[in-house]
Amino acid sequence: MNGWILGFVIGAVVAVVVVAVLLMMIAGVRQTAEKAEAILAGLNDARDGTAPLWQLGATAKTAERIVAAAASARTSLTPGGPA
């Protein structure tokens, strides 16, 4: 009978250790998930903050057309300029 009790005690200790390790792993995974969500939120903010940079080429072309039109208008309106 002593062997059975010793076996049950050892089995219970092993089960408790396994449960403790699993609980620590679950806690670690939760912390990792929270950090990953924070990182993802930061990346989304960075993406949203830099999205206008993709339109920079179009903005530069529009600015060039405005400057060219203003220069043409100035030339046309300058006294002694082309008639």
- Tokens at residue 18, please? 């396994």
Q: Are 55 and 49 in contact (CB under 8 A)?
A: no
23 — alpha (psi -120 to 50), left (phi > 0) or beta?
alpha
2-19 confidence digits (pLDDT tens): 888 999 999 999 999 999
Distance of alpha carbon 71 from alpha carbon 81, whole angstroms: 12
18-69 confidence digits (pLDDT tens): 999 999 999 999 999 999 999 999 999 999 988 888 888 888 899 999 999 9
Helices (H), 1-83: 2-50, 56-77
